[in-house]
Amino acid sequence: PFEELPYMERGLYFSLKNGNISSLLPDPTFRRYENLGPEIDLFANQSMTTLDTIADNAFKDNKVLQIIRFNRDIEIIGGYAFMGCSHLEQVQGAGIKHIYEGAFYNCPELGIVHMDDDLQIIEDYAFFNCKNFRGFDASVSDKGCNMSRMKSLTKIGKVAFANCSNIRRVVF
């Protein structure tokens, strides 16, 4: 009945499904959203309450982005969505359930992903080469990354945390 259509708001590109914003898409101008500055806050607009997905490659190779915040409705971080975001330090998104392959691949400054314990799946290479990564705020303690606090987690893919030199120990 309704197909997904492209839509632009506040300099971001989205797909619309049934008249509602559905997915944040990659920047078709190949600027990688770098023109939006170091902080992007998807909480700031009521029309984005139906946004549930950060699409594959959405911010890939963005060299400016440091902090991204989004609402509880975002459940999916697509494949390679933030790959190569060399200055990305913080991700704040409470309702994430699925982090696809390579979503944060080679984000060396990413420290902690702020979210609750809804996360179910972490795909292969999701945090590969995130040298500063310590874990999720629901799991980090002074004794290491305690994944047992993440009650919904059912899968961690191959080498999901390889080359994350700040993760000293992982407890399940």
57-95 pLDDT, tens digit each: 999 999 999 999 887 788 999 999 999 999 999 998 878
**Angle at CA 141, nearest 5°, toward 127 and 164?**
25
Q: Where are the alpha helices (DSSP H) in the chain?
A: none
Summarize pLDDT for 146-165 with one digit per residue, the tens: 566 677 889 999 999 999 98
d(CA 158, CA 61): 23
Residue type at position 69: R
127 touches 102 (CB < 8 A):
no
CA dihedral 162, 101, 64, 72 (to 10 degrees): -110
Summarize pLDDT for 23-44 with one digit per residue, the tens: 888 887 767 788 888 998 876 6
